[in-house]
Amino acid sequence: MNDIAQQLKSTDQPILISFPICPFVQRSVVLLNVKKQGFQRINIDLSNKPQWYLNMVPTGKVPALVINSSKQDVIFESAIINEFLDESFGTPLLPADPISRAKQRAWINFSESLIMLQFQLLSTDDADKYETLSDQFTKEILKLPSNENAPFFSGDELSLMDAAIAPVFTRLKWLPSVTLKINELAQTDSSASALLNWINNLIAHEAVMRSVSPDFDDLFEAFFKMSNSYAINSAAA
């Protein structure tokens, strides 16, 4: 605790409290990378959350962002953190127009349901349930409003929505049944083709690639193997 307390007080940079494979944490790291904003990171064990963290964050969820470490101002919930980062550092990415801004916020909210459904899909150890969830997840991801005229959500540069959806796209490598379906549809459906391009462009973006640690794949697979994940076991077969 003393070491953590000292770290929280020893920097002027934002401090992101995280769990290494958490998709909600990744959203904020992507945006920090886009903003080229330096930050420090403290990982905690979500299965044994330290009391100092529970004292700071009433939900106990990650991420949390500590700003002004001497006062320990704390912001939690990734979508709120990202709007704060967008307003505080660099040129704002969220549109100035109220309608466009509201629409993007709505899709950011939709991306959270995709994250949770994807987690269920990756966690199940049952083949039949996997197939049911895979079909459901595929239908949901195909609802995303792909931009046929731009590489990312709203243009040539990353937006808050791109940061929000990046964890979902990053984890598709462990869900080949989903990507196969999108690929098949992309042969005849322009929306599916645009979605596929968006996926490929986003996961190849430097800010997204640097949003996970070099050992992310190993940590990710080890985590889901603990629940005997059908998806992870099938990918390794």
Q: Kindly list the structural domains of the chain, giving each domain's residue range(s) and its CATH number in brackets, ordered by start.
A: 2-88 (3.40.30.10), 98-236 (1.20.1050.10)
Listed residue (58, 59, 49, 56) closest to 15, CA to CA: 56
Contact 16, 25 (CB under 8 A): yes
d(CA 8, CA 24): 21
* pLDDT tens digits in sequence order for the chain, 237 residues long: 456 666 666 678 899 999 999 999 999 999 999 999 999 999 999 999 999 999 999 999 999 999 875 677 899 999 999 999 999 999 999 999 999 999 999 999 999 999 999 999 999 999 999 999 999 999 999 999 988 999 999 999 999 999 999 999 999 999 999 999 999 999 999 999 999 999 999 999 999 999 999 999 999 999 999 999 999 999 876
d(CA 54, CA 134): 34
By the 10 Å C-beta count (0-12 exposed, 13-18 middle, 19+ buried), 200 is classed as exposed
| pTM given for the model | 0.94
Residue 28 φ then ψ, to 5°: -75, -35
Give Cβ neighbours of residue 217 (< 8 Å, ≥ 6 apart).
none
Residue tagged active-site, from 22, 75, 122, 195: 22
Listed residue (102, 103, 111, 66) closest to 85, CA to CA: 66
216: annotated active-site residue: no
pLDDT for 72 equals 75
pLDDT for 4 equals 65
pLDDT for 237 equals 66
Write the Ramachandran bin of 22: left for phi over 0, alpha for psi from -120 to 50, otherwise beta: beta
